[in-house]
Chain A
């Protein structure tokens, strides 16, 4: 009488070994195929930057017949201004953005996560709403404002908003992390007479290095990648970031020097790739716990 359920248990729990193996082979096959398909364009670009110019458009292979780093020299000096200027500019903008973002967002996050003051809930809700706001809505008045301040053609419009915690996403990220730090720690410090600033500086920040690092890395990558901000605020070539330099390259000589264009494209993503190699666990955990867009 207990026959039927018994049988079902067996069917459900024990798939034959050969079927399991087959499934595993099929799954790995699919995943490996998908990985190759996805990474092929990147590898091809890398190869194209090293191959002789006449081979770029005739070969779909990712192994050049002969190697040369000429394209890197050509590309580096391919525009009126050399890429060393663009890279320096990008590093300046990204580094200051990281400092500003980590500092301003952690201050705000500490207030939201740990301090009690009237209106906290309302401000917090407003902060969350700004997450959804398309930047186009504030774009034009911001441009007018920065223009009146004489900031167009400087890095200030790209950096100063970071010091004002304009990227609310990172506040949210840090609030989530701060809430996980046991309150006993700061209450004990209070008893010892520490004020909010000391608690923020001596307890919260040292205990929050993972989230601060995640915020720093994403800020760096997003600022490095940013195209729109530099596009509207930087007009002089000596102020260009790497992304603007690349765009100019495609408009002018890039059409005749694909090797150089690809070489510079490869170099432009090297910093991001290095962050990925070194900190991939941190990045992936950051996304998994907070749901980031990229």
Chain B
């Protein structure tokens, strides 16, 4: 029974109130509590979404009224914009490498920690710390120094007589420094994996070892299948986050996405178009393509999930 049922069935209300009165009593409290959220939802989410969809079909420089442009923005994007193509490549590369590697690290460490290790809480906290700090500008600044020509990484390499390149300013490596930064923050998916591992009943392992299954086999036949819902969840969250990543690339490249657009994340390009060149219409079109990408990815994951994600009945 819920509050409102109790309220309407209370004896005081028994003498048949009018329809409006009933609506007021039944629905008003819920809508009143939701009022701030409604203002935000319509004013800051739904309204702006519709508006940006409209703007994506216009040329708009913020100072003069938007001029209708039809599908010009979208056509230009896919046929005549090398920077768009570059930013798409960079972002895809980043997502494809950073997410699986990050999840693999997270799962590997979680499995190690889940063996009933002493000091579990200490390790867990230490590994989590970079996740908590990682989005900060301070860490991006630190990263830029670590991978500079005279940075920490090359100091270590020089101990072995290797003279490393300037990782940040070499287009072959610059994106990898950002991927490493993302992997470094494997702490929060690790915690989610640990929570998932605890849900797996111990007696399944006991039964399996009675049957003579090796640890390796137990991992592939018990742990991994039962953990697939958590893998699925982590993969979706981390992929969406990777698509939205902005600050590290901005700080490390000084806002440019260089060298030769090698760190030009999609979000960074969108920012440049919107707030560097004030091409707000084009930037809105970019935003809608991003939304389409995220939506396609999410839909695809959910559709394929029934073939690989294991749900108990």
- A residues whose Cβ falls under 8 Å from a Cβ of B: 5, 8-9, 11-13, 24, 27-28, 30-31, 34-35, 38-42, 44-45, 57, 59-60, 104, 107-108, 110-112, 114-118, 120, 123, 126-127, 130, 132-145, 147, 161, 163-166, 171, 183, 186-187, 190-191, 195-196, 199-200, 221-222, 225, 227-228, 232, 243, 246-247, 250-251, 254, 258, 261-262, 265-266, 268-269, 272-273, 276, 280, 283-284, 287-289, 291-294
Contact = CB atoms under 8 A, between A and B. Distances in A.
B204 interface: no
A191 B7 CA distance: 9
Which 7 A-B residue pairs are closest in the complex by CB-CB distance? A164-B40, A117-B30, A12-B209, A141-B48, A265-B138, A111-B33, A60-B155
A38 B127 contact: yes
Give the secondary structure class of A's interface: helix
A34 B124 contact: no
A141 B36 contact: no
Contacts of B124: 284
Nearest to B192: A291
Among the interface residues A30, A136, A243, which one has the most CB atoms of the partner chain B within 10 A? A136
Interface in B27-51: 27-31, 33-37, 39-41, 43-45, 47-49, 51
Interface in B260-300: 267, 270-271, 274-275, 280, 283-284, 286-288, 290-291, 294-295, 298
Contacts of B119: 28
B52 A141 contact: yes
B294 A38 contact: no
Interface stretch (B70-78, B81-89, B163-171, B242-250): B242-250
Chain B contact residues, majority secondary structure: helix
A272 B41 CA distance: 30
Nearest to A44: B152
B200 interface: no
Interface stretch (B220-228, B230-238, B305-313): B230-238
Nearest to A162: B40
A265 to B, nearest CB: 4
B125 interface: yes
A163 B35 CA distance: 11
A28 B117 CA distance: 8
B13 interface: no
Given A110-B33, A261-B141, A293-B237, A272 B291 contact: no
Contact of B2 (A35, A108, A115, A251): A115
B191 A293 contact: no
User: Which of B44, B123, B156 has the most chain A CB within a 10 Å cutoff?
Assistant: B44
Contacts of A24: 117
A126 B264 CA distance: 32
Contacts of A44: 146, 152
Nearest to A171: B37
Contact of B36 (A40, A57, A147, A163): A163
Contact of A247 (B55, B125, B137, B234): B137
A221 B267 CA distance: 22
Nearest to A286: B191
Interface in B125-176: 125-139, 141-146, 150, 152, 155-156
A127 B37 contact: yes
Nearest to A292: B188
A137 B290 contact: yes
B132 A294 contact: yes
B128 A117 contact: no
Nearest to A191: B6
Contacts of B234: 291
A104 B38 CA distance: 11
B145 A258 contact: yes
A7 B290 CA distance: 59
A28 B115 CA distance: 11
